[in-house]
Structure 1
């Protein structure tokens, strides 16, 4: 089969694919006009098969010209497919049935690979867990491990921006399918004005079209604890069923990066066979959810960060579907190191290049008087404090600290995403700012950043938020990672326990994973506050269902952050050698 770009491609549109329950899903099929049979690439999407996720990937014809049958299918209840849309509910069975149907086509080899990111990555995992006989490999991009943690909630905080923007977008197709153009227009208007929409309370009383067309949104709000509902929808519960090689594609500013890393590590250790466990590969760029580019937020990560995913995937599928083995075995892990803007290779994640003990270096929160804002005297030090006064700030949900950049969603115009200068929020007194002296040498990190925080609050519940920030010599301050904990979840995600008023509580929570170099002359900074809006919902400082909260529930919380010999608040950085 020629791989010339001039190979003609036959396109068959709206091909019906029967499911076991009689529902027919619609697919577009792209295949080389001559030669064959050819192995199959399958992309199952709720976002319109005609689009085929071409914001990030090459068009299906590009893959077809290189010797593949490419099938792009609308998932159940979406666009041209029959059935009712219920997120993730039918994707395992529908994926299995589609894979086996594809393998039976007369122009197809009986080898199927899958690709796609976000929801289209989740459908790969759900299908793979059903062990369809003709699925040979997958390439899931930017998808998490758990339906609750890291997707719908984060340590109890509701992922407001990601979910509201997604539901408003998804429900528009449902409205059009039901002939409700008026509802589609209303949803589109809310989508366009989403920054005001985020502030509307209560969350469980959305506009009528959203309530009627996306009942799953109300289900998510009604279940703020991780229970059997979430477990039944999580890949985390299915690792032992995965029996295919997988290329895990992630981005350091993607909201699902922690789940991507977990999927890689857990299938390596718990997959169904040695074949699967031995053939998990991880590839992490500095990107956010979309689009994929060297330009992320306000930073240019250089030519090495350009989007070359299609070439990577082509080599992957050639290996597993055409038995064209690479000349040299690829590394298990390839990751982009931000700051130095170079690629690194490793056998594991996190890499075994620790320079200090187990690689965890403590940087202590310090202040002489008050760390409030960038105008204060907060410091980040490698030396623990002796006796120091705590830092105090006030959080009221009506004036929540806005999220600038970060890992909140899918569309940078609608949700806070990527690296951005944090100075506009660091001038606020309800943000504590702890900054190291300018560095005498590069400090490289690769792994998970965690915060050990000793704090008291006057409220029965509240949030604590922290960001790791790279401060440039000219004062610009770019976020690297962020994390949140809802205080009432400090004993686990399956229960809420009030916080004793004024009592010092030790919190330990993740700020996420990263690979980055703080360069010589830069400084390391930690920002601490109590809100990250609209990335997460505003905690009213009371224990309440997130869907039922109104402005009348808002109360003020006075927060005290301790950093002394007995209460050494500190951020743990996974410091590695730079060799």
Structure 2
């Protein structure tokens, strides 16, 4: 049945949905006034059902006018719903109960699809892992694969800005639910001044409202190793349970991009049935976490990067919920190539032409005397080094290098997000800057960037940070990707081993996945330093629990970066074409 753009929509608000334990979760229901039954689109959110994530998506009435029953539900312990909020803990069971309730509505067809991004993406996976028979497909946006790696921690470094800003926001609703308007006001004041709050130590002694209303925050800090606690909360452990097609939506500047890609590949390889394994699709824009737009950070990626997710999702749900198959089979992967600002298609990620070993290009760190800052002589070269002196800089956590843009989340004025000019930090002597000669032709990359670093430190623990940068002909330098490793985690995420003072150690870590073209006349740059604050917490240069550190624990680390024939520090780029 064709649906008119002028179809009347019935809206029912605060509809109770009973859970198996007697708790009632409340939902708003949007449906066409006439006809039916219609398939269901379900959005379960901890961020207020009345908002329905409309910062990024069309309003539920838009989907209802296209022939869907749209149900937007407050998750357990959030906004209008009963129960206590404990992130992710009951979302699987609650999702199953809600799906069964929705499919049984008199005006609903027994086919349910789910959408939503971030936490609302995670609840889709958690419900899908329970294999409810009425769930036909999902469209999770910008969500990770692991509760520890790439979310709460990355290679041992605590994701300070993302975690603190999220917890502080989430706790405000909990305060109001408990009748503590004073706590909500206090949290809001800290939220407004969060750039000052990031510096407050120790991390495990937050203001009383955070401590009382969000005990999970201090629990995360007590668990800096990836143990069974984290494994039990991770999606990557449950790919074998997924039985439905999924449209994975990601962004190159989103903090969850690696997890989004892992979810896509994980279900393709390990899904519970052929339908799931054969019908995973990946769609990657140049966006950060939110809002979704062609304008990201300081760059305009052009009209091709405009937000068309609702049209994409409508075709997706029409396919799996209404059996309206696309005229042409869609590509498994559609990704946006930054720089050229064009769309590419592939059958896999990474694209086949970038996954072959001979296409991985090594760019070597070089310097004649010192690579400190853009005033130094650091060079990024395809020619290996011979006999060269190492570069030396000093890191002290009291004067950490600030993160300018990048892959944090979730609000750009609160956390470091997106492409931004890196010159304000590249003038510092505690940032080593290695820049290629201007390119004589375009160099495009698509895949994972890895960094092989030979370094020594005088501290028992420290961080090493690397940032890939696109240098424009006029000198502006925009971050493309970034990575960090906490040295004491070099043997794995489940243990910490102090670093012997002065010992030269090989570190290998990822700067993440990306698709970007460095254009002719531009240059490729790699920045190396030891902090990315407040995206990550400041390493005190000691082996200590991140929640317990105070300024009294800060120590100085002298870092030596080697780049010679025996110790060839280099970044590996997945070149698609060019040299």
| Deviations 1:463-486 (CA, angstroms, capped at 9, x unpaired) | 000000000000000000000000
Q: 1:246 and 2:240 equivalent?
A: no
Rounded Cα–Cα distance in structure 2 between residues aligned with 1:418 and 1:48: 26
Rounded Cα–Cα distance in structure 2 between residues aligned with 1:331 and 1:132: 27
Contact map agreement 1:356 1:575 (CA 8 A) in 2 = no
Q: Secondary structure at the match of 2:470?
A: strand
Contact map agreement 1:142 1:249 (CA 8 A) in 2 = yes
Q: Secondary structure at the match of 1:398?
A: helix
Q: In the alignment, which residue of structure 1 is the partner of 2:274?
A: 274
Q: In the alignment, which residue of structure 2 is the partner of 1:62?
A: 62
CA 1:113–1:356 in 2, change beyond 3 Å: closer, same or farther? closer
Q: In the alignment, which residue of structure 1 is the partner of 2:207?
A: 207
Contact map agreement 1:363 1:382 (CA 8 A) in 2 = yes
Q: In the alignment, which residue of structure 1 is the partner of 2:115?
A: 115
Contact map agreement 2:239 2:271 (CA 8 A) in 1 = yes
Q: In the alignment, which residue of structure 1 is the partner of 2:366?
A: 366
Q: 1:569 and 2:565 equivalent?
A: no
Q: In the alignment, which residue of structure 2 is the partner of 1:53?
A: 53
Q: In the alignment, which residue of structure 2 is the partner of 1:176?
A: 176
| Deviations 1:375-426 (CA, angstroms, capped at 9, x unpaired) | 0000000000010000000000000000000001100000000000000000
CA 1:485–1:92 in 2, change beyond 3 Å: closer, same or farther? same
Could you tell me how far 1:358 is from its partner in structure 2? 3.4
Q: In the alignment, which residue of structure 2 is the partner of 1:224?
A: 224
Structure 2 matches for 1:17-96, cutoff 5 A?
A: 17-96=17-96
Rounded Cα–Cα distance in structure 1 between residues aligned with 2:536 and 2:393: 20
Contact map agreement 2:460 2:541 (CA 8 A) in 1 = yes
Q: In the alignment, which residue of structure 2 is the partner of 1:468?
A: 468
Q: Secondary structure at the match of 1:310?
A: helix
Q: In the alignment, which residue of structure 2 is the partner of 1:425?
A: 425
Rounded Cα–Cα distance in structure 1 between residues aligned with 2:297 and 2:534: 17
Structure 2 matches for 1:281-430, cutoff 5 A?
A: 281-354=281-354, 357-430=357-430
CA 1:355–1:50 in 2, change beyond 3 Å: closer, same or farther? closer
Rounded Cα–Cα distance in structure 2 between residues aligned with 1:357 and 1:203: 43
Q: In the alignment, which residue of structure 1 is the partner of 2:140?
A: 140
Rounded Cα–Cα distance in structure 2 between residues aligned with 1:217 and 1:251: 26
Could you tell me how far 1:2 is from its partner in structure 2? 3.7
| Deviations 1:102-159 (CA, angstroms, capped at 9, x unpaired) | 0000000000000000000000000000000100000000000000000000000000
Q: Secondary structure at the match of 1:187?
A: helix
Could you tell me how far 1:4 is from its partner in structure 2? 1.7
Q: Secondary structure at the match of 2:525?
A: strand
Rounded Cα–Cα distance in structure 1 between residues aligned with 2:94 and 2:231: 20
Contact map agreement 1:142 1:250 (CA 8 A) in 2 = yes
Q: 1:488 and 2:526 equivalent?
A: no
Could you tell me how far 1:353 is from its partner in structure 2? 1.8
- In the superposition, the TM-score normalised over structure 1's length comes to 0.99
Rounded Cα–Cα distance in structure 2 between residues aligned with 1:147 and 1:358: 34
Rounded Cα–Cα distance in structure 2 between residues aligned with 1:358 and 1:11: 58
What 5-or-longer segments of structure 2 have no aligned partner? none
CA 1:578–1:110 in 2, change beyond 3 Å: closer, same or farther? farther
Contact map agreement 1:401 1:532 (CA 8 A) in 2 = yes
Structure 2 matches for 1:536-575, cutoff 5 A?
A: 536-575=536-575
Could you tell me how far 1:352 is from its partner in structure 2? 1.2
Rounded Cα–Cα distance in structure 2 between residues aligned with 1:448 and 1:380: 18
Q: Secondary structure at the match of 1:353?
A: helix
Deviates further, 198-207 or 349-358: 349-358
Q: Secondary structure at the match of 2:509?
A: strand
Q: In the alignment, which residue of structure 2 is the partner of 1:534?
A: 534
CA 1:279–1:413 in 2, change beyond 3 Å: closer, same or farther? same
Rounded Cα–Cα distance in structure 2 between residues aligned with 1:132 and 1:163: 31
Rounded Cα–Cα distance in structure 2 between residues aligned with 1:157 and 1:300: 31
Contact map agreement 1:355 1:577 (CA 8 A) in 2 = no
Rounded Cα–Cα distance in structure 2 between residues aligned with 1:488 and 1:120: 34
- In the superposition, the TM-score normalised over structure 2's length comes to 0.99
Rounded Cα–Cα distance in structure 2 between residues aligned with 1:297 and 1:284: 17
Rounded Cα–Cα distance in structure 2 between residues aligned with 1:488 and 1:321: 49
Could you tell me how far 1:578 is from its partner in structure 2? 6.8
Could you tell me how far 1:33 is from its partner in structure 2? 0.1
Contact map agreement 2:354 2:445 (CA 8 A) in 1 = no
Could you tell me how far 1:23 is from its partner in structure 2? 0.5
Rounded Cα–Cα distance in structure 2 between residues aligned with 1:458 and 1:450: 25
Q: In the alignment, which residue of structure 2 is the partner of 1:504?
A: 504
Rounded Cα–Cα distance in structure 1 between residues aligned with 2:268 and 2:178: 44
Rounded Cα–Cα distance in structure 1 between residues aligned with 2:408 and 2:545: 21
Contact map agreement 1:355 1:575 (CA 8 A) in 2 = no
Rounded Cα–Cα distance in structure 2 between residues aligned with 1:85 and 1:360: 46
| Deviations 1:475-533 (CA, angstroms, capped at 9, x unpaired) | 00000000000000000000000000000000000001100000000000000000000
Rounded Cα–Cα distance in structure 1 between residues aligned with 2:355 and 2:130: 42
Rounded Cα–Cα distance in structure 2 between residues aligned with 1:322 and 1:578: 44
What 5-or-longer segments of structure 1 have no aligned partner? none
Contact map agreement 2:355 2:447 (CA 8 A) in 1 = no
Q: In the alignment, which residue of structure 2 is the partner of 1:103?
A: 103
Could you tell me how far 1:357 is from its partner in structure 2? 4.5
Contact map agreement 1:456 1:504 (CA 8 A) in 2 = yes
Structure 2 matches for 1:430-469, cutoff 5 A?
A: 430-469=430-469
| Deviations 1:524-564 (CA, angstroms, capped at 9, x unpaired) | 00000000000000000000000000000000000000000
Could you tell me how far 1:354 is from its partner in structure 2? 3.6
Rounded Cα–Cα distance in structure 1 between residues aligned with 2:363 and 2:106: 62
Rounded Cα–Cα distance in structure 2 between residues aligned with 1:355 and 1:317: 32
Rounded Cα–Cα distance in structure 2 between residues aligned with 1:578 and 1:38: 50
Q: Secondary structure at the match of 2:512?
A: strand
Contact map agreement 1:488 1:497 (CA 8 A) in 2 = yes
Rounded Cα–Cα distance in structure 2 between residues aligned with 1:396 and 1:102: 55
Q: Secondary structure at the match of 1:3?
A: coil
